[in-house]
């Protein structure tokens, strides 16, 4: 198997209309099988960074630097070539499942169109692979799910559909942008476990964006902390939680975990970080 590597070098993102710099200079890398969590409060630049990797930020937001996946600089690809990378090489699982799918067509239609872009499977072969993947993430009636429209499925089910699609596409990089934020505590736990299994199954590089540090503690190898568009600290998950150096990181760790633990005690539930 070819060794996989994603390198982000001196990424800068700015608003072409206002001139405001949103991400001044970010650099980081991932290797095959690694999960990097990006944490920080709203507006810290987490989602902007992820969309920049996918080249999916709004047209008025410009970016410079290098984003190199297995030796190919994604910043130099044409829009057509970049589209071929999305899905098969780079897969993004978004916070709001409703925004990921075309509301005017059944889920199965979208899934089959997506696989047809990257594989020359027959319709029956693609359907069988998708059904198997849907079943593997706990969706008990794959055929019914594929006939359903997005509004007919819950947020947790839509997240599982996106995970199932990743299983079929086997991307080099999976970017999960706040995938559990809109879910209740029980569904959060179930979806996080699906991410753990997905990572173990594919061995892909994973960027997991979250403000929930208990989930980060469960799933990530390393943590990158962003504040006001800048990376203020990076380290192993163990070191970040036990020996955070930057005052902002110390604040995040102490306040967020204390709040999460208090909430868990109140509801008498199980924290997703456990297990």
In this structure, are residues 54 and 175 in contact, taking their beta carbons and an 8 Å threshold?
yes
**Residue 236 falls in which region: left (phi positive, over 0), alpha (psi -120 to 50) or beta:** beta
CA neighbours closer than 13 Å in the CB half-sphere of residue 156:
15
| pLDDT tens for each residue of 202-234 | 888 999 998 888 889 889 999 999 999 999 999
Distance of CA 119 to the CA centre of its chain: 23
| pLDDT tens for each residue of 56-114 | 999 999 999 999 999 999 999 999 999 989 988 999 988 777 778 889 999 999 999 99
What CA–CA distance (Å, rounded) separates 97 from 101?
7
Tokens of 51: 């969309």
| pLDDT tens for each residue of 180-198 | 776 777 778 888 888 888 8
Task: Please name the residue that has the structure tokens 């997506």.
Answer: 114
Sequence-ordered list of residues with C-beta below 8 angstroms from that of 184, at least 6 positions apart, any chain: 156
What is the CATH code for 5-267?
Answer: 3.40.50.300
Residue 254 confidence (pLDDT):
85
Q: Domains of the chain: which residue ranges?
A: 5-267
pTM value?
0.85
């Amino acid at each position: 198997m070819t060794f996989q590597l994603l390198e982000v070098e001196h990424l800068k993102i700015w608003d072409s209309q206002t001139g405001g710099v949103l991400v001044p200079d970010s650099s980081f890398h991932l290797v095959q099988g690694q999960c990097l969590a990006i944490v920080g409060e709203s507006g810290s630049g987490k989602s902007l960074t992820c969309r920049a990797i996918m080249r999916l930020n709004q047209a008025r937001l410009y970016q410079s630097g290098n984003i190199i996946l297995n030796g190919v600089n994604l910043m130099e690809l044409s829009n057509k070539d970049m589209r071929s990378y999305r899905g098969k090489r780079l897969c993004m699982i978004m916070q709001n499942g409703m925004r990921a799918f075309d509301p005017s067509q059944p889920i199965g239609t979208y899934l089959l169109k997506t696989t047809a872009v990257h594989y020359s499977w027959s319709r029956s072969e693609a359907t069988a692979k998708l059904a198997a993947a849907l079943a593997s993430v706990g969706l008990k009636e794959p055929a019914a799910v594929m006939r359903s429209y997005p509004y007919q499925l819950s947020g947790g089910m839509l997240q599982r559909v996106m995970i199932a699609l990743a299983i079929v596409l086997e991307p080099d990089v999976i970017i999960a942008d706040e995938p559990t934020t809109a879910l209740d505590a029980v569904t959060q736990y179930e979806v996080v476990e699906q991410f753990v299994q997905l990572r173990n199954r594919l061995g892909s590089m994973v960027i997991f964006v979250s403000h929930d540090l208990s989930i980060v503690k469960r799933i990530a190898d390393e943590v990158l902390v962003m504040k006001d568009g800048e990376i203020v600290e990076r380290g192993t998950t163990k070191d970040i939680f036990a020996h955070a150096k930057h005052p902002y990181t110390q604040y995040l760790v102490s306040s967020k975990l204390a709040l999460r633990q208090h909430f868990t005690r109140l509801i008498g539930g199980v924290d997703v970080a456990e297990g």
